[in-house]
């Protein structure tokens, strides 16, 4: 054991010293200007036309998916939906900077990252209709996706719980000697949860290769960020925990891509956490249960429409001569048709048979669950009309 002195690096003062403004300037990385032109001083990340097209198409895809599913909820076909409109660049471009072996632990507005990984329209629809084809067996509300093959951890509703879990997951990756990191998405509201502080501190102290990706979209449902925290956003907290920190324009694909690429390199090289605060705006309502007109103005939304991340990146792709307009319109039309086709198919598929209600509680069902299932099945047989989804199927 070596002697330690935790005062060693602290200077002295001899009058009461109150730090009234401990903030330091944390600038925001921006590569593309809101009009889609390259910032004169910006350093362009290495990006190919193929990658650019994949990012653009994924962003367009989730926008179409969001439009379709908000409408499906309004029609009463699904119970709930949560759009990511306005935040597509944050999730899609960050996922693009990762490798397939990297684990994604998300909050609930990261369908862009999942779509980028290759989640299909069928898989999206099976989840939202909680049918028997769904990878998670239809046990959770719409938008709680999860895919083991795509290294996308199943989402849970409680906010911030995935943050310390991501630290632990990354620690396991490090101990197993894997060339992989974990990315953990969350909002600026969730960063008020205790789990945020626990997770960042543990990752820093235990040297976990994890990227904490905060989407600071200005609102936690209706609560604006100035009623959420007093300090300088979420980035300032990273510094407090001794975590390397980057603030980035979340509506700028190239900036998010560059920041996440750097974060991944740092996390692997130093086996350390990195915090990214992506400054963005939730153009959508919080969810289909929310009405933003009661807490923000049309003018405010309009000013952010001008910073639309999809338009911004598309303009840049066009300026590079990398976008074939005709081809892109055909992609959009085809995607729209595919989504609708899969929606119609998925809503016809039945839910899992009743036997599955007791599966996966434990590795094998213990006696009391078997007894409860047997009793339930007898009851369903007595009143089949009352339980139309499961009666008469086994």
List of residues contacting another protein (CB under 8 A): 1, 103, 105, 134-140, 144, 146-148, 153-154, 156, 158, 161-173, 175-176, 182, 194-195, 197-199, 201-202, 205-206, 359-363, 366-368
Residue 185 CA from chain centroid, whole number: 5
Judged by beta carbon, residue 59 or residue 346, the one nearer another protein is 346
Instruction: With H, G, I as helix, E, B as strand and everything else as coil, classify residue 249.
Output: strand
What angle separates helix 49-74 from helix 253-270, to the nearest 10 degrees?
Answer: 110
Burial of 175 (0-12, 13-18, 19+ CB in 10 A): exposed
Closest CA to 254 of 31, 29, 46, 27: 31
Shortest distance, position 79 Cβ to another protein, whole Å? 17
| Comparison of 102 and 249: residue with beta carbon closer to another protein | 102
6 is catalytic: no
Tokens at 250, concatenated: 């979340």
Choose the catalytic residue: 63, 144, 247, 286. 286
Query: Which residue from 181, 107, 104, 186 is spatially nearest to 148, judged by alpha carbons?
Result: 104
The residue (of 60 and 111) whose beta carbon lies closer to another protein is 111
Q: Is 295 a catalytic residue?
A: yes
Q: Which of 247, 264, 282, 312 is catalytic?
A: 282
Going by C-alpha positions, the residue among 290, 280, 222 that lies closest to residue 81 is 290
Which one of 139, 295, 296, 336 is the catalytic residue? 295
In total, the chain counts a number of residues equal to: 394
- CB-nearer residue toward another protein: 162 or 280: 162
Q: How far is the CB of 164 from another protein (least distance, A)?
A: 3
Residue 218: CB minimum distance to another protein, A:
26
The answer to whether residue 383 is catalytic is no
User: ∠ CA 48-54-56 to the nearest 5 degrees?
Assistant: 100
Q: How far is the CB of 124 from another protein (least distance, A)?
A: 16
Q: Which two tokens stand for residue 161?
A: 């719980």
CB 185 within 8 A of CB 110: yes
Contacts for 231 with CB less than 8 Å, ≥ 6 apart: 23, 237
Nearer to another protein among residue 52 and residue 138 (C-beta) = 138
**Min separation Cβ 149 and another protein, Å:** 9
Active site residues: 282, 286, 295
């Amino acid at each position: 054991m070596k002697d330690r002195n935790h005062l060693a690096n602290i200077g002295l003062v001899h009058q009461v010293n109150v730090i009234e403004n401990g903030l330091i300037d944390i600038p925001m990385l921006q590569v593309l200007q809101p009009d889609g032109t390259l910032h004169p001083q910006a350093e362009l990340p290495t990006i190919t036309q193929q990658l650019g097209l994949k990012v653009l198409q994924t962003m367009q895809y989730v926008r179409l998916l969001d439009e379709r599913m908000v409408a499906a909820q309004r029609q009463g076909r699904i119970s709930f939906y949560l759009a990511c409109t306005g935040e597509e660049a944050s999730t899609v471009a960050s996922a693009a900077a990762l490798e397939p072996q990297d684990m994604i632990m998300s909050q609930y507005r990261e369908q862009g990252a999942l779509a980028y990984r290759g989640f299909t329209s069928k898989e999206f629809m099976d989840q939202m209709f909680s049918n028997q084809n769904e990878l998670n067996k239809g046990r959770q509300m719409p938008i709680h996706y999860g895919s083991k093959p795509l290294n996308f951890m199943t989402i849970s509703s409680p906010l911030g719980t995935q943050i310390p879990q991501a630290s632990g997951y990354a620690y396991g990756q490090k101990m197993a000697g894997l060339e992989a990191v974990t990315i953990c998405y969350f909002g600026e509201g969730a960063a008020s949860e205790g789990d945020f502080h626990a997770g960042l501190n543990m990752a820093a102290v235990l040297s976990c290769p994890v990227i904490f990706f905060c989407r600071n979209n200005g609102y936690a449902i209706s609560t604006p960020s100035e009623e959420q925290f007093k300090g300088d956003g979420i980035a300032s907290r990273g510094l407090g925990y001794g975590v390397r920190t980057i603030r980035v324009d979340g509506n700028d694909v190239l900036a998010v891509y560059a920041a996440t690429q750097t974060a991944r390199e740092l996390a692997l090289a130093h086996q350390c956490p990195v915090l990214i605060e992506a400054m963005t705006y939730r153009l959508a309502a919080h969810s289909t249960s929310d009405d933003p007109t009661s807490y923000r103005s049309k003018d405010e939304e309009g000013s952010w429409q001008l910073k639309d991340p999809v338009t911004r990146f598309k303009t840049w792709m066009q300026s590079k001569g990398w976008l074939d307009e005709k081809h892109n319109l055909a992609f959009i039309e085809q995607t729209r048709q595919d989504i609708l086709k899969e929606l119609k198919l998925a809503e016809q598929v039945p839910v899992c048979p009743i036997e599955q209600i007791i599966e996966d509680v434990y590795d094998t069902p213990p006696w009391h669950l078997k007894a409860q299932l047997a009793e339930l099945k007898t009851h369903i047989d007595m009143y089949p009309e009352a339980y139309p989804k499961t009666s008469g199927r086994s």
